[in-house]
Amino acid sequence: MNIGTCKGAILAGLMALAGCDVGGGATSAPPRHAVMANGALTLVAPEGFCIDKRSLKSSFALLARCDTLGDPDGAFGAPLGLITVSLSTAPAGAPSITAQSMEAALSDGTVLDRRETKDAVLLRVRGTAPAREGLSATHWRGTGQVGSHLVGLAMYGADDSGATGAEGGQLLDRLMQRTRAQAAAQVVAAGQTSTATE
């Protein structure tokens, strides 16, 4: 199998995993942001990624490169990959999550890289390969906090995709930066609205 055929097979697998209809094309552009947690949080995708509307739940979202979800001009050079986002309520008074605490809680895999920013704690892990053929056993896992919500993150891709290298960690960090910035903007807007109505 040559490289082009292999990448085509991986793209088809990623589209199937994302729940895409490979033949039909989308009727509207896939969203780049979505309200989650019963309106408490707005998830904002990193550049080149869109949210699979069919995956969206109050506490879960699947993101893929925009062109695989029906926006042929939306990829902006992003690597081919999948991002999962899951939300949970942060326990009151719980200590901040660190790379060390995440690594200690890791039940499988070997940590290849760590990334801690003001927005996210990320680990690049080599573990058991996902069940979907073509996805690498190397992937990113991470977490961040937005208000009272913990945001669990993962990024998957093929072995030769930037999604499994440093670029994958940067994309997850940008997702958290954008989501936290949106949350801060909403708090400011809510404060201005309440001041205006008093």
pLDDT in the model for residue 196: 56
pLDDT tens-digit readout, 20-71:
444 444 458 899 999 999 999 999 999 999 999 999 999 999 999 999 999 9
CA terminus-to-terminus distance, the chain: 68
Distance CA 150, CA 139 (A): 20
88 beta partners: 150
> How high is the pLDDT of residue 131?
77
**Residues in the chain, total:** 198
Write down the pLDDT at residue 7.
Answer: 46
Instruction: Look up the CATH number of the domain holding residue 131.
Output: 3.40.1000.10
pLDDT recorded at residue 56:
97
Higher pLDDT, residue 166 or 189: 166
Output the pLDDT for position 12. Answer: 46
Residue 117 pLDDT: 94
**Look-up: residue for tokens 């499988």?**
108
pLDDT tens for residues 147-177? Answer: 999 999 999 999 999 999 999 999 999 999 9
Phi/psi for 58 (5° steps) reads -60, -35
The whole-number average pLDDT for the span 130-158 is 94
Q: Is the pLDDT of residue 5 over 70?
A: no
Give the number of domains in the chain: 1
Write out the residue range of the structural domain in which residue 160 sits. 3-22+29-197
pTM: 0.83
Query: What mean pLDDT value characterizes the chain?
Result: 86
Q: Residue 1: pLDDT above 80?
A: no
Q: What is the pLDDT of residue 80?
A: 96
Tens-place pLDDT, residues 77-116 = 999 999 999 999 999 888 889 999 999 998 889 999 999 9
Q: pLDDT class for 195, splitting at 50, 70, 90?
A: low
